[in-house]
Each structure stands twice: as structure tokens, then as C-alpha cells.
Amino acid sequence: MSKYIFITGGVVSALGKGIAASAIGSLLEAKGLRISIQKLDPYINIDPGTLSPFEHGEVYVTDDGCETDLDLGHYERFINQKTSIFNNYTTGKIYHNVITKERRGDYLGNTVQVVPHITDEIRQAIKSAVTFTTDILIVEIGGTVGDIESLPFLEAIRQFRYDVGRENVIYIHLTLVPYIKTAGELKTKPTQHSVKDLREIGIQPDILLCRSEMPLPVEMKKKIAIHCNTDIDAVISALDVETVYEVPIQYKLENLDKIIEKKLCLDNRPPDLSTWQDVVYKIKNPKKETKIAIVGKYVGLKDAYKSLTEALSHGGIANNARVRLIWVDSEEVEARGADRLLSDVDGILVPGGFGSRGIEGKIEAAKYARLKKVPYFGICLGMQCAVIEFSRNVCNLSANSVEFDPDTKHPVIYLMESWYNHRTNKIEKRSSESQKGGTMRLGAYPCNLTPNTKAFEAYSINKISERHRHRYEFNNSYREILTQKGMVISGVSPDNELVEIIELDDHPWFLGCQFHPEFKSRPIDPHPLFRAFIEASLKAQRALFI
């Protein structure tokens, strides 16, 4: 029978429940256990797909096309599992399911209530993430204990122990032990109050993960254990670390794996963390450094590009290099020029996004990279901007995307639904605002690579599968003129109708892809395109000094 670990958070938000859940998953996976992780979010949106990146950070996409919370990216980077629609539920999705059942008459006229109907739906959602191969399901509860929004989820996991047996469930509470600088002391009172709130709901935490700037003295662990009714060895010091990939190693030093084994009645298996130790060593001891500019629209909130920044770090790991990120607002490029903002970087990455704000700055960044021979990596919208720039300045077309100019004379990028429905150059003149929440190409799609190209050299295989999240596509009516002028189409859909990757021949490394490769990058298995991009940026850096 599968075992369950529920992770809650207290005192303040942003303590890192997602990293904690992921690190526990990797630690248990290193013991040979098969792990799955699920996120339960208390917001009422059905999913984060329509949320602004400034509001909620990155929207992560799974192979099956589900738009999910960014914590699922952490899960996939730490454990050997592909997440799916069953790994992320929101309050909105839970209530939608219950209301749909009520309208259908499934409840046979009964009054529909939070208890039992909403909590039953949550419990069923938890079970949906378990397969016959799952040894342990780790469930992260979003929000902070004390928030009214989280109460149905907390009640559901309280009940869950009675569904599957006490020996099959443990509760882990992530809390804060702040250091008061003026007093020179760590303070346990916030943790005590947080656990008190949790116990009032009916949940007694089995393990406490105490975030702090310094190790907890034994006497302080004893104090927390007494006041929180927890075993002293189950009070874990969760220290700040240099890299998140060090967290599983730190948890092992605190014997967290042994405590979990004991409380879940698991066999004693020593974990093999050598892979993580190698990753951490490479991050802390780089032999080189390269500077990469991220020219984006949402640089004010770094979480909007979480998977992207992690994938760049992975590319650095593959090249034994530190990747120093230079954040550049694309609107600043419009105002001040690419020469002033990008002159001292080794590589330029233009990420995805939606809407017309800051687009000309992204196009200017692509032009700068092309003319100055700076390695360029365009992802999704970044590829489309590169196509627009090339069309304008090399092919002399009055080019744009219909997302930004529905009446453009040369729509080199246009609506996906126009292509599917008409297979012609006819444009449906709709603004990007009217398309929000509409049909998108989501999830994993196959792609065939062209031999003797940079893309093929990076992947070393003929066929790949990558995850998408976009509405607009390369317009095939312009394939011939762009390729005649030097653009290389190095990746296409199996039916040859959708352009997935473009490159430039007369450039050290200039590549754009329609998909989001960052979603499949792992610290122990860096994505081929990020590995190649960082390698090219390091070479370009050396070339400056020859």
C-alpha cells in the first residue's frame, strides 16, 4: 500500500515548501523508493494559466498539456517523475468538479457542503495522483496555516489518515525560527504558535522542518519538541543553503530519511546521494564563468522565469561554469538601445511572453545578437521576435506578428487557429487581448530535426519531443524567402507543417525554438539546447580575448 506525506507551512509564506517537498522526494528516491509529488493550491482559479506572471510567477506545463503551479517544476527537477494533470489541484478545480456533479444530480438531492462533499473531492484528488507503482505520495498544501482558504484542504488531510491507516500517513510542518539580530537570539515562539494553530485544526505534526539562518542548538530543539508535542529527533534544522540542490544532502545530515522510515514503518535503506553531491560540487566549484542577458518583460519578478533560470544553471553545470544572469527589461532596450545594455554579455536569451509590451526591445536584442555575432537563444516568443527581425532587416519586409499588429502587411507570425482552419495566408484580425484564455498549443509535441544543424548537433538524435505553450506560429508562406536569405529551418513537426526551430548559418550560435525546453531540463540531465548555448557563450567569451 502507498504511503503519504503531507507538508504544510506556517508563520510566513515563501519558506520553500515546494523545495522541501522536492528535496524530501529526492532523498527518498535515493533510497530506491518510487515517489510522486502533488500540489494542492488554495486559490480559486481553475489553474494558473490566466494569471499574470507578476501575480503568480511562472506557469509550468506538463507533457499532457496541463498548466500548473511553478512548484511542479521543482518536483520534476528533483525526482525522476513526469508530472501530469493529477499532480496539481486548486480550490477552483475542486469546486468546479463538485458543482458539475451537483448539476448532474450525482448527490441525489442532498445539500452540498464543504464537509463532506468538498473534503471528499479533495481526498479523491489526492488518491488520483497514486498509481500501482507509487511507494510514497508527497502532498504539498499551498498557503500558510491560519489562512481561511486552506481550511478545506487541511480538514481533508486530517481525515485522510483514517482512510488509509495511521501507519501510512505522516504530517510535516515547515516553519520559521527567526533570528532577532538586536537580541542576538533565535526565537521559537512563531513556531509554537503555528503548531498550535495546526493542532487546533486536528493535525499533530510528526516532523518539524525549522527554517533558520543558523543551526538550532540542542536545547532549542528540546524546547520546540516539548511545546509542540514532537519527538526531539523530529525537530529538523532546515538551514539556508547556497544552492537548492544541496537541500537533500542537508536533510540527510539531519537524519530526516531515517525519521521518515521509522514513522512510516519503511525498510531501512541507505540513500545514494552521490549524484546530488556531484551537482553541488560543480555549482560551488566552477572552472569558468559566463554572463547571460535575459531580455524579458517580467524581469521585475524572477519567479516568472524560474524554470528558465534553473535550466541556464544546468547548462552551466554541464560546462563546469557559473552562469551569471544579467536581467534586462525589454522596454529599457527600446528606450536606451541594445548597444548600451548588452555590450558586455557573452550570450543573449529572449524568453517567452504574451502581448505587445516590450516587443520592439526583444526584436532589437535579436538584431544586436545577429549583427554582433553574440550567441542568441530565442524561446517561444523569443524565436518569433528573431523571425520578425530577420524578415524586416534581411528580407526587407514590413513584417510583424498578428498578435502585435493584426493589419501587418507581412504576417510572418500568425494565429495558430488560422493555420489549422484555413491552411492559407488568410489572417483572422483579432487582438491579443481578445484571445486570452483561448485555444493554445499546450503540452508535448514531436519534432523532426534536420541533420547538420546546430539543433541536431545539440540533441544528437533525429526526433525529439518538447513542451509548448503558445498560440502563434511561423507563417509557412514566408518559408521560401527567409530560407533563401540565410535562415535555416532545423526542426519541424512530423507533417512538415509547423516550424519548431530556426537558426542562422553565418553565426557562431543563433537558435530559436517555438517550444519551452526549460521545462525538461534537470540538474542531473541538463537540456541539450541550454548545454549548447552556454558552451557557445563560453567560446564567444574566449574569442573576445584572442
Question: Can you tell me the distance from the alpha carbon of 528 to that of 315, in angstroms, rounded to the nearest whole number?
Answer: 8
State the cell numbers at 402. Answer: 498578428
Buried b (16+ CB within 10 A) or exposed e, 224-239: bbeebebeeebbbbbb
Beta-sheet pairing, 321-329 with 487-492: unpaired
Question: Can you tell me the distance from the alpha carbon of 319 to that of 530, in angstroms, rounded to the nearest whole number?
Answer: 10
Question: Can you tell me the distance from the alpha carbon of 76 to that of 78, in angstroms, rounded to the nearest whole number?
Answer: 5
Residues 366 and 378 sit within 8 Å (Cβ to Cβ)? yes
Residue 518 annotated to the active site: yes
Q: Of the listed 66, 380, 385, 513, which one is catalytic?
A: 380
Residue type, 263: K
Give the position of cell 498550535: 196
Question: Can you tell me the distance from the alpha carbon of 239 to that of 405, in angstroms, rounded to the nearest whole number?
Answer: 50
Query: With the C-alpha atoms ordered 462, 416, 352, 48, is the resulting torsion angle positive or negative?
Result: negative
State the cell numbers at 459. Answer: 540533441
Beta-sheet pairing, 67-68 with 179-180: unpaired
Beta bridge partners of residue 204, listed in sequence order: none
- Please report the beta strands in 368-425, taking only residues with DSSP state E, as ranges in sequence order: 376-379, 399-401, 410-415
Q: Of the listed 254, 417, 503, 518, which one is catalytic?
A: 518
Terminal CA-to-CA distance of the chain, rounded, Å? Answer: 63
Question: Can you tell me the distance from the alpha carbon of 191 to that of 178, in angstroms, rounded to the nearest whole number?
Answer: 9
Question: Can you tell me the distance from the alpha carbon of 37 to that of 537, in angstroms, rounded to the nearest whole number?
Answer: 35
Residue 410 annotated to the active site: no
What phi and psi, each to the nearest 5 degrees, are found at residue 386? Answer: -65, -40
Question: Can you tell me the distance from the alpha carbon of 238 to that of 11, in angstroms, rounded to the nearest whole number?
Answer: 15
Residue 516 annotated to the active site: yes
Alpha-carbon separation of residue 358 from 6, 300, 433 (angstroms): 42, 13, 15
What lies within 8 Å, CB to CB, of 384 at 6+ separation is 378, 401, 413, 472, 474, 512, 514
Q: Of the listed 173, 314, 516, 527, which one is catalytic?
A: 516
Catalytic machinery residues: 380, 516, 518
